[in-house]
Structure 1
Amino acid sequence: MPTLNLFRLKGGKASLKILSLDLKHGSVKLLVENPDDLWHLYNVISPGDLVYARTSRELKGRGEATRPGQSRRVSMTLGVRVKGVEFGGRGLRILGVVIEGPERYDGILGSHHTLNIPVNSVLRLVKEEWPEYQVKRLRRASEISGKPVVIVALDDEEACIALVGSFRMDVRFEHGVRLPGKRKPERRGEALKKYFSELLQALQEVLREVKAPVAVVGPGFIKEEFSKYAAEKLKEVSLQTFTVSSGGLSGVREAVRSGILLRFARESRLLEESKLVEEFLAELASDRGLATYGLEAVEKAARYGAVKRLLVVDRLLREAEVKERRKIEEVIKLVENKGGKITILAGGHEGGEKIMGFGGITAILRFKKDY
């Protein structure tokens, strides 16, 4: 089968692009390419940070910009010390005090200003210190997924299996079929069974070469039927279903264009988070003593090296006062230094909301808390 070399595949919407990363000086330059990127930035930018971005500002009646009694809006690049961050339908709003700007305009330094950050913006974010979990979040956001995705596109006439990564699409299997009509249920059922069997066999061959999640796409109910059929045979494989208008290679291409890769990565992440939350709840309900929650209890467990998996809701980090946030970040560092794993949960989804009920920070432990 042919290998199709494409422009960078982002499912029709590119991911956050890290233009430069200078952690020695606390500086990261970013290109925002879709609304999800704005959400990641909302959870990374904190009060006290510096943000540099292109903006506009109304200048009134003094300096070289205007004549007395007149005002006009002027485009410029400003550096703002962050006081607050707001996330909404129109983008990201960063509120703060101007600490750097064009010298030729009077009265700007020290004044309040709001940076509006829409999609396709470039900004530079500077922190005194970058917590490792925030760096990981940015790096994760800059990728679709750590692995390629296998797309299976099928309808009543054709099927295609392709391995899709960030920069290429490798078509592994194409198959034409002529299914009997629905008025002949017995013949159609037999033909459908054969069709699914051949498709599953081809899919298994691909999965033997590369371990990857599977997206089953197509129109109508046939994708749902195959997805159910495949799930019974591929119990260890992450498999999700999406709707496109056709099967075959055109269905694969439509899936890529329509943003499925980005959605797949996001939903796979949420599925992973949900499993971790359920694992915590199961441990909490058992008598094994391998779960704890609340900042004080989790900090104590972290100091003893007992934390195997730390779960922190992004909302807790975002809304905490500076002193509390620093304490949470210290706990995260402790867990990382002692070999534990950290997951920052999305507060707007069910798993994150459940953990918020336990104070927004919980831990699955390596050993029983008898300290």
Structure 2
Amino acid sequence: MGSRQLGLLLNWIDGKKGLRLTPENTYDLWTLRRTIQPGDLVQSWTSREVKIEGEFQRPDRGRRVRVRVKIEVESVRYDYDLGRIRVRGRIVDSDNELVPHGSFHSLDVLPLTDILLWRRDYPAWMIKRLQGRRLSRSQVLIAIDSREAGVGLLSGLTLKVYGTVESGLSGKQYAQDNEKLLRTYFGNIMGLLKSIPPPTRGQIVIGGPGNTKNRLANLISEAGLSKEVVLLDGYDVAGDDGVRLMPSSTSFRELVASTEYAQVQDLIETMTSYLARGDERVALGVERCAFAAKKGAVRSLLLSDAIFKRVDEETIVGLANETEAKGGEAYLLDSSTILGAQVDGLGGAVALLRYTIPTPV
């Protein structure tokens, strides 16, 4: 048993000259951002204003239509706040004859957007990275007590909090009033669960004090919202805070020991241990990590997404790609999670090294 496997859907096309890629979460978008390079060809559906010429049509008027375009990439940007990547380039092909070739266009790639990608080459480390994203897993997290419930989705290393539902219960209502409020409470939680796209709605993990979670678990199973509903024992925090803290709890960690999130937890514990005993197989900060990556010394690179506010995006992409090209692993952590906050507190970039390296001069 386990949560549903998801991640970057990948299929070869055009005699293995191209790839069909479908990101399923924001971490997959980060993976695509590091894969798509200037000079590549990217095709996807988009909307574009086209000029309609005719006897009764004003020449300066146009209308926006849905078209499929292929562009030669000139730039790629990752917008972590909006959860998208923007690919800009010149149009080289389209399924609509009214779209002029050679004009510029930007494609916005969001989760569940299909794109086709053609590159001059596909290095082994790049394919390994893309295929590795297929091993990520998702869990819906619900942290509930009789007063409030927080709902979130943990996809790989990314946590999205969908919101909090309040029951309106207090100690002053009659029993029949409490039951009516509880029915409304559970109904609102179920409505929030249904807003999570079914392709990403895997295992549902419910934690919190008391027996409210048991009743909710039964309702979710009866409604068929998930084939796997798990009650988390020994976890007593509800609401938004409960969702954010749940992935780092001991009971949750035991439940998902093989997930990417648990693997990064192990890496951070190793890093903390190294720092505590003065082991020099740790690099802190972008400059030190970049120096170690050039030496081929990085075993695992941990980045907080908050680093994009302080460091140029191309620098971060180059650091992550060089790490993986030389046999290391690179992870981007959601700074709203405990793991991401830990890395951000250490400068936003931390590397575990294969061996100690001299201090750069």
TM-score range, shorter chain: 0.5 to 0.7
Contact 2:11 2:20 survives alignment (8 Å): yes
Contact 2:300 2:352 survives alignment (8 Å): yes
Q: Secondary structure at the match of 2:217?
A: coil
Is residue 218 of structure 2 the alignment partner of residue 246 of structure 1? yes
Contact 1:53 1:123 survives alignment (8 Å): yes
Tell me, in whole angstroms, the C-alpha distance in 1 between the residues paired with 2:225 and 2:99.
52
TM-score with structure 2 setting the length: 0.54
Q: Secondary structure at the match of 2:325?
A: helix
TM superposition shift of 1:53: 0.4
Residue matched to 2:131: 139
Superposed CA deviations along residues 193-242 of structure 1, whole A, max 9, x for unmatched, are: xxxxxxxxxxxxxxxxxxxxx98758973698xxxxxxxxxxxxxxxxx9
Residue among 324, 332, 340 paired with 1:332: 324
Distance 1:15 1:61, change over 3 A: same
Distance 1:368 1:321, change over 3 A: closer
Superposed CA deviations along residues 292-343 of structure 1, whole A, max 9, x for unmatched, are: 2345544554566654433344666896454664355234322x1xxxx414
- What amino acid does structure 2 have at the position aligned with 1:78? V
Distance 1:140 1:60, change over 3 A: same
Distance 1:300 1:322, change over 3 A: closer
Superposed, 1:155-304 pairs within 5 Å as 221=210, 244-246=216-218, 250=221, 254-256=225-227, 268-301=259-292
Contact 1:51 1:124 survives alignment (8 Å): yes
Residue matched to 1:44: 32
Tell me, in whole angstroms, the C-alpha distance in 2 between the residues paired with 1:92 and 1:322.
16
TM superposition shift of 1:344: 0.9
Q: Secondary structure at the match of 2:227?
A: helix
Tell me, in whole angstroms, the C-alpha distance in 1 between the residues paired with 2:95 and 2:205.
57
Which of the pair has more CA radius of gyration?
1
Q: Secondary structure at the match of 1:256?
A: coil
Contact 1:298 1:361 survives alignment (8 Å): yes
Residue among 91, 99, 109 paired with 2:101: 109
TM-score with structure 1 setting the length: 0.53
TM superposition shift of 1:52: 0.8
Tell me, in whole angstroms, the C-alpha distance in 2 between the residues paired with 1:86 and 1:103.
27
Tell me, in whole angstroms, the C-alpha distance in 2 between the residues paired with 1:317 and 1:128.
28
Q: Secondary structure at the match of 1:221?
A: coil
Tell me, in whole angstroms, the C-alpha distance in 1 between the residues paired with 2:340 and 2:123.
21
TM superposition shift of 1:280: 1.1
Residue matched to 1:98: 90
Contact 2:284 2:347 survives alignment (8 Å): yes
Tell me, in whole angstroms, the C-alpha distance in 2 between the residues paired with 1:253 and 1:352.
33
Distance 1:94 1:272, change over 3 A: same
Distance 1:30 1:68, change over 3 A: same
Distance 1:112 1:306, change over 3 A: closer
Report sequence identity in percent: 22
- What amino acid does structure 1 have at the position aligned with 2:333? A
Tell me, in whole angstroms, the C-alpha distance in 2 between the residues paired with 1:355 and 1:128.
35
Distance 1:50 1:281, change over 3 A: farther
Is residue 352 of structure 2 the alignment partner of residue 364 of structure 1? yes
Distance 1:217 1:300, change over 3 A: closer
Tell me, in whole angstroms, the C-alpha distance in 1 between the residues paired with 2:208 and 2:317.
47
Tell me, in whole angstroms, the C-alpha distance in 2 between the residues paired with 1:76 and 1:266.
44
Residue matched to 1:350: 338
Give aligned pairs, total.
267
TM superposition shift of 1:283: 0.8
Stretches of structure 2 that go unaligned for 5 or more consecutive residues are: 140-202, 232-246, 248-254
Contact 1:280 1:291 survives alignment (8 Å): yes
Tell me, in whole angstroms, the C-alpha distance in 1 between the residues paired with 2:290 and 2:218.
52
Distance 1:145 1:100, change over 3 A: same
TM superposition shift of 1:143: 3.8
Residue matched to 2:12: 20
Tell me, in whole angstroms, the C-alpha distance in 1 between the residues paired with 2:305 and 2:68.
29
Q: Secondary structure at the match of 2:331?
A: strand
Q: Pairwise CA RMSD of aligned residues? A: 5.0
TM superposition shift of 1:78: 0.8
Q: Secondary structure at the match of 2:321?
A: helix
